[in-house]
Amino acid sequence: MTLAKEAGIDKKAAKAALVEHNDDYDAALASVKADTPADPAVAAEGDLSALSLENESSAINTTVSVVRVEVGDGSTFPAYGDTLQVEYKGTLEDGTEFDSSYLASRGAHVPFSFRIGMGKVIKGWDEAIMQMSLGEKAIIFVPASKAYGAQGAGDKVPPNSDLKFEVRLLKISRQTSCLGPGQHGGVQRKTHEYAELANQLLGRGPPSNLELRSPDERQQMPLTSEMPA
């Protein structure tokens, strides 16, 4: 095989390379290959691969995982607006406990109550505990994006912390429904929102954009002696 064909260059360039290296074929070939730029298609493929890896590493994790430890009744699940009682323990990725319903002075858990689906707790809890049935105990893995995010939570939870919770669902108190017994959840949520909007439009309820202030911030009414005659 000639140098021109093997190196992918024209005959004039091949001859010049051989002259430069005293007809040493291997040295001329090595010199030509060293001076030949890389295939742009291969280079582009490498750049795309690097970009793909970079994007993958910078992707935000939004997946909440629920691992069942002890089964519940398998049929009674929370619905939007229900008040729940749970006992729990929260830890960081390194196992450091940052919160718990366990009260050391009493040697027992003190149930924590909240209304689910209404943003009263971190988003990861609203999503995960909705999947648990009454009496169930589970391990919940919550990514930072659905926990305390970039701001963290005081000194206990650093910014961008993924969290692990051990949770037991103790009690479900159904939201009172105007639709009749058992009518709650998604239907109840939409009905509640529509009713609230209707009341605002008819002047029977405060508008949602009402600026609420504490009593200390409100302007006091004048005393009787200061009122105009």
**Chain segment 132-176, per-residue pLDDT in tens:** 999 999 999 999 999 999 999 989 999 999 999 999 999 999 987
Q: Say whether both 31 and 94 belong to one domain.
A: no
Q: Is there a catalytic annotation at residue 60?
A: no
Q: Give pLDDT, residue 32.
A: 65
Q: Say whether both 29 and 98 belong to one domain.
A: no
Say how far apart CA 192 and CA 177 lie, in whole Å.
Answer: 9
Say how far apart CA 117 and CA 126 lie, in whole Å.
Answer: 5
Of 80, 116, 122, 172, which is the active-site residue?
122
Between 25 and 39, the higher pLDDT residue: 25
Q: Say whether both 76 and 163 belong to one domain.
A: yes
Residue 115 has pLDDT above 80, yes or no: yes
The pTM of the full predicted model, rounded to 2 decimals, is 0.55
Of 99, 102, 112, 139, which is the active-site residue?
99
Q: Is there a catalytic annotation at residue 122?
A: yes
Q: Give pLDDT, residue 21.
A: 67
Residue 132 placed within a domain: yes
Q: Is there a catalytic annotation at residue 25?
A: no
Q: Is there a catalytic annotation at residue 112?
A: no
* DSSP per-residue codes, 132-194: PPTT-EEEEEE-GGGTTGGG-BTTTB-TT--EEEEEEEEEEEPPP-TT-TT--THHHHHHHHH
Domain extent, residue 24, equals 3-58
Residue 216 placed within a domain: no
Q: Say whether both 107 and 193 belong to one domain.
A: no
What average pLDDT does the chain have? 75
Q: Say whether both 140 and 101 belong to one domain.
A: yes
Q: How many domains does the chain have?
A: 3
Q: Which among 39, 58, 77 is the end of a domain?
A: 58
Of 80, 129, 148, 172, which is the active-site residue?
148
Q: What is the CATH number of the domain that holds 120?
A: 3.10.50.40
Residue 229 placed within a domain: no
CA 5 to chain centre: 57
Q: Are 63 and 128 in contact (CB under 8 A)?
A: no
